Chains A and B, each alone.
Chain A
Amino acid sequence: MKTMELRVTVNGQPRKWSIGPGDLLLDVLRREGFFGVKRGCEKGECGSCTVLVDGRAVNSCLMFAAKVQGCEVLTIEGLADGDRLDPIQGAFLDHGAAQCGFCTPGMILAAKWLLDKNPHPSEDEVREAMAGVLCRCTGYIKPVEAVLAAAKQPAKRATRKREPAGVAR
């Protein structure tokens, strides 16, 4: 297959990857080690593969990697600042909003998209923003509470430290 060069910024770092025209963004990101981008339905129905492209939540399973030429991509790996968790991540921990965790990267990125443009959403707005991510465990109550809490207390949550690697959750 003919290859092409993809220049893209992922989590703030410029990358140069060689890709095929049919490579999906989901596959390329996972191939490059971003395993927080989850492979679920691969049909645009579950939202597990959600990433932000130029700030907007998209399904990476329905996007050719070639489409993000010159764009900024944010995956869950890019959310924490060093060992400081993003307020949304902290709130998900505090509220027990992740169970198996498979949907969690997509949930958190959908929430990040929402809070970046609307820092004080109503519960309805939170539910609408998360409607593209399916969760089979939590029943959505805890994730919605977590996002609302993150919206209320950004300053406090921003100081939360990342859990040491390997801690079972």
Chain B
Amino acid sequence: MESFAYANPATVEEAVGQLAAQWGEADVLAGGTDLISLMKENLHAPRRVVNIKNIKALEGIRKTAAGLRIGALVTMDELAKSALVLAGYRALAEAAAGIPSPQIRHMGTVGGDLCQRPRCWYYRGGFGLLAMKDGKSLVPEGENKYHAIFGGGPAYFVSASSLGPALVALGAKVKLVSAKGAREVPVAQFFVTPKDGDTREIALRPDEILTEVVVPGAAVKSATYEVRQKTALDWPLATASVALEMNGTTVKSAKIVLGHVAPAPWDSPAAAHSLAGKQVTEATAEAAGKAAVADARPLSQNAYKVTLAKVAVKRALLNAVKG
């Protein structure tokens, strides 16, 4: 690990004062589960690490007029167990609970989950975010069993965020603060699919800190379903988060978002549309799953993920109306 200076700001103002206009200068440290891995591999070698863990304003979950306000420092463990989250935002609690190690849930934060770098083994192995060699991605003809089945490149990594799909389904926004001011960005636009190796996979700028997530208060039924290889610590192969606005027993409108299948949470309007005006049954849930993967373009080793994604949609829908 390269040496660096360690800053311990007590306020957001102090913290953003420590950031820089370009990437590489400073990195924000919250739970550390991703940043420390990146620094050990020299993928990130910041000159300054800005520990935001002492900023009290970034803690806590509150109900406000705008909906649920979740501080960036809320841990995955707090999120999974929060009565406020469990009451109206089940998809979110289930997404956080899906991280199977208590140790990681205790350390990992909401802000960190959204800002973590992809786990793609080409990226982690030092081949760059898009794994380009001689103007061509190594992924399509390489080891791609955990890669994207949507999007068609040149980015083939999958977004590592556990909360992203649930937050997109629930219509949440993130608040990003820099020394120049604050802006709110819908989570659906926070994740970006880079077209070149110099772009980040999130809309955060190097001089900004993600301070909170706001999830609008709406009477929706929601659920997240994850498919993983192991029940112990493992990354999901495919996930689905669904949010349903109901009209009695029929679906008024739906939002169906897949995870770990594309460089960003993958919203499927076709699947959502297939449910409008219908009850959620085995048959309609299955049809929605099929619609969700109709455009999937798997790579040489990951066609199995199409089936997993389809089943995840079906099971998430059935769970959402059950509870």
Contact = CB atoms under 8 A, between A and B. Distances in A.
A binds B: yes
Interface stretch (B62-70, B97-105, B154-162, B279-287): B97-105
A59 interface: yes
B107 A20 contact: no
Contact of A132 (B5, B29, B102): B102
Contacts of B2: 22
B233 interface: yes
Interface stretch (A8-16, A37-45, A76-84): A37-45
B53 interface: yes
A67 B32 contact: yes
B5 A47 contact: no
Contact of B231 (A43, A50, A131): A131
B36 to A, nearest CB: 5
Interface residues of A, number: 31
B3 A64 contact: no
Contact of B103 (A1, A24, A44): A44
B108 to A, nearest CB: 9
Contacts of A20: 3
Nearest to A19: B6
B233 A131 contact: yes
Contacts of B232: 131-132, 134
Contact of A21 (B4, B102, B107): B4
**A contacts with B: majority SS:** mixed
Contacts of B101: 44, 47, 131-132
Contacts, number: 85
For chain B, the bracket of interface size reads 20 to 34
Nearest to B48: A21
Contacts of B104: 44, 59, 132
Contacts of B103: 44, 47, 50, 57-59, 110, 132
Interface string B37-58: 1011000000001010100000
Contact of B29 (A58, A64, A110, A128): A64
A47 B191 CA distance: 30
A41 to B, nearest CB: 10
Given A22-B1, A64-B32, A44 B49 contact: no
Interface of B: 1-6, 8, 29, 32-33, 36-37, 39-40, 49, 51, 53, 77, 100-104, 106-107, 231-233
21 contacts: A21-B3, A21-B4, A21-B6, A22-B4, A22-B39, A42-B40, A43-B40, A44-B33, A44-B101, A57-B102, A58-B107, A59-B103, A59-B104, A62-B32, A66-B51, A67-B29, A128-B102, A131-B101, A131-B231, A132-B232, A134-B233
Given A132-B233, A134-B232, 10 more contacts: A21-B5, A22-B1, A44-B37, A47-B101, A58-B103, A64-B6, A64-B51, A66-B8, A110-B103, A131-B231
